[in-house]
Amino acid sequence: THSVRNTNVPMSQRSDYVDLCRNIIRDMDLYGVCVLDNFLGYQRGMTVLDEVLNLYNMGVFKDGQLVRNKASNNLKTIRGDQIIWVDGREDCCKQIGQLISDVDAVVMGSNKMNDNGKLGNYTINGRTKAMVACYPGHGSHYVKHVDNPNKDGRCITAIYYLNKDWDIKENGGLLRIFPEGWSDQVADIEPLFDRILFFWSDRRNPHEVQPAFKTRYAITLWYFDGNEKEEAGRRFQDASDLNSMQVP
């Protein structure tokens, strides 16, 4: 976990931009996971949260997937995560758009700065739109999964969290990563306000979102490795696989 000095200049002009990228490169190479706190700074973090709350109140989030409620073994299902895809250029998503370009700046910066000019030996050349997710707080969770188990092109998952005054004991919603190769170790990440998390999207990082008991917001971007994506394009003739990724 590294803390970012808060300034309101564009990411690549920030005095600590180079250190940020170096931290990402080192943590991704060492652990395959990297957490940065105070990524945008309080002010800008709040403007992003306001836009997300506005979207939520406008009711544009798609109904979450139906999850069988294990507790009551009847067929009652609880609504899980609710999502909406934005590309950040919409009028109502300008601040989200700024967040996206700052995440692009650190991911592409790290990709270039690495000594062999590649982050994790990937050639990152694109990303999905931003997936804004909300877990309504009545026990909604996300089962253990791998984001990209079958080489669909996604190499890095970036998740920006928006949850102020989050008390993990009370509110749950912990992200638990089970890094491959670290048999009994897990990485527990609290979905704290203005925190950004990066991790390899493939089978190295199975993860789960534990039941949340307070509304939990996050914005996710997935970055593509050019070669893997190209290769997947040839394999996934069925357009629906790619549509679900909402490539801008």
Q: Which of 194, 159, 154 is nearest to 177 (CA)?
A: 159
Of 122 and 142, which CB lies nearer to ligand QNM in the complex structure? 142
Asked if 147 touches Mn ion (CB under 5 A), the answer is: yes
Q: Which of 31, 28, 195 is nearest to 114 (CA)?
A: 28
Asked if 166 touches ligand QNM (CB under 6 A), the answer is: no
Q: Please, what is the minimum distance in Å from the beta carbon of residue 2 to Mn ion?
A: 22
Between the CA of residue 246 and those of 107, 131, 158, 180, 239, what are the distances in Å? 19, 9, 15, 28, 11
Q: How remote is the C-alpha of 164 from its chain's centroid?
A: 17
Measured over the CA atoms of residue 212, residue 219, residue 154 and residue 104, the dihedral's sign is: negative
Q: Which of 127, 207, 217, 223 binds ligand QNM (CB under 6 A)?
A: 207
Of 204 and 207, which CB lies nearer to ligand QNM in the complex structure? 207
81 binds, among ligand QNM, Mn ion, none (CB under 5 to 8 A by kind): ligand QNM
Asked if 159 touches ligand QNM (CB under 6 A), the answer is: yes
Which listed range, 92-100, 124-132, 140-148, 187-195, lies at the site for Mn ion (CB under 5 A)? 140-148
| Six token digits for residue 31 | 């652990």
Residues 130-149 that bind ligand QNM (CB under 6 A): 133, 142, 147
Q: Angle formed by the axes of helices 17-30 and 94-113, to 10°?
A: 70
| Six token digits for residue 83 | 């999502």
Asked if 224 touches ligand QNM (CB under 6 A), the answer is: no
Asked if 225 touches Mn ion (CB under 5 A), the answer is: no
Asked if 218 touches ligand QNM (CB under 6 A), the answer is: yes
228 binds, among ligand QNM, Mn ion, none (CB under 5 to 8 A by kind): none
| Six token digits for residue 191 | 């979905």
Asked if 27 touches Mn ion (CB under 5 A), the answer is: no
Q: Please, what is the minimum distance in Å from the beta carbon of residue 115 to ligand QNM?
A: 30
Q: Which of 27, 51, 81, 104 binds ligand QNM (CB under 6 A)?
A: 81
Of 83 and 113, which CB lies nearer to ligand QNM in the complex structure? 83
Asked if 51 touches Mn ion (CB under 5 A), the answer is: no
CA distance 209 to 189: 10
Asked if 83 touches ligand QNM (CB under 6 A), the answer is: yes
CA distance 190 to 168: 7
20 binds, among Mn ion, ligand QNM, none (CB under 5 to 8 A by kind): none
Give the 3-state secondary structure of residue 216: strand
Cβ–Cβ under 8 Å, residues 111 and 122: yes
Q: Which of 209, 219, 14 is nearest to 96 (CA)?
A: 219
Q: Which residues bind ligand QNM (CB under 6 A)?
A: 81, 83, 133, 142, 147, 159, 175, 191, 207, 209, 218
